[in-house]
């Protein structure tokens, strides 16, 4: 009985942490090792086990951050510690718009916030006196925006941007109906 070279188990592994540029751990970051994929834990930890000998490209990415790749050469039984420090993604794209009352078609001037939802730290834009908001320096990506306006139902949209694009995204919010119960 001969032993095939492919049946030899390997104890090689690649693990490490993904951090933001200020050293904060980045949970839910995607880490790829050639075709294998994983997601970091809340503390930024990731791990690939039973890696065959060879050359691998490890890439860490998270929305709102620049992805980073490193190449490693793995030998049998290697244990590689590979940490990443991702910097915030900056670009030249912009999202701006106005929040309108869907019934009156007039801008909402009573205040409120538009939230640009990101995995680690959301960005916020307060409405100005004309019901307008804007987000600048965005990188090419797809963004979820939430309009949170007192007295109105929340509205959520997704906006896809390419580098350098300036896109208008208006919101048409429905006033919250305060219905009195029949008993009181």
- How do residues 7-48 score in pLDDT, each as one tens digit? 456 789 999 999 999 999 999 999 999 999 999 999 999 999
Q: Are residues 163 and 99 in the same domain?
A: yes
Contacts of 147 by beta carbon, 8 Å cutoff, 6+ apart: 99, 112, 113, 114, 154, 155, 156, 171, 173
Look at residue 119 in the predicted model and tell me its pLDDT: 85
Print the domain residue range for 65. Answer: 10-86
Structure tokens at 147: 């309009």
Number of domains the chain is built from: 2
Q: Do 113 and 158 share a structural domain? A: yes
Q: What is the pTM of this model?
A: 0.75
CATH of the domain at 51: 2.60.40.10
* pLDDT value of residue 184: 57
Residue 4: pLDDT over 90: no
Name the average pLDDT for the chain: 91
Residue 107 has a pLDDT of 97
- Residue 137 maps to which CATH number? 2.60.40.1120
Domain boundary among 86, 121, 140: 86
């Amino acid at each position: 009985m001969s032993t095939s070279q492919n049946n030899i188990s390997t104890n090689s592994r690649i693990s490490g942490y993904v951090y933001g540029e200020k050293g904060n751990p980045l949970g839910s970051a995607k880490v790829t090792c050639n075709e294998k994929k994983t997601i970091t834990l809340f503390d930024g930890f990731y791990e690939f086990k039973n890696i065959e000998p060879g050359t691998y490209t490890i890439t860490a990415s998270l929305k709102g951050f620049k992805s980073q790749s490193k190449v490693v050469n793995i030998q049998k039984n290697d244990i590689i510690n590979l940490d990443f420090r991702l910097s915030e993604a900056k670009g030249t794209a912009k999202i701006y718009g106005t929040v309108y009352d869907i019934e009156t078609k007039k801008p909402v001037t009573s205040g409120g916030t538009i939230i640009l939802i990101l995995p680690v730290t959301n960005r916020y834009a307060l409405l100005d006196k004309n019901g307008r908001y804007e987000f600048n320096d965005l990188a090419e990506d797809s963004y979820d925006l939430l309009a949170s306006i007192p007295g109105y139902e929340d509205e959520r949209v997704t906006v896809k941007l390419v580098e350098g694009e300036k896109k208008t995204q208006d919101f048409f919010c429905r006033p919250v109906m305060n219905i009195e119960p029949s008993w009181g």
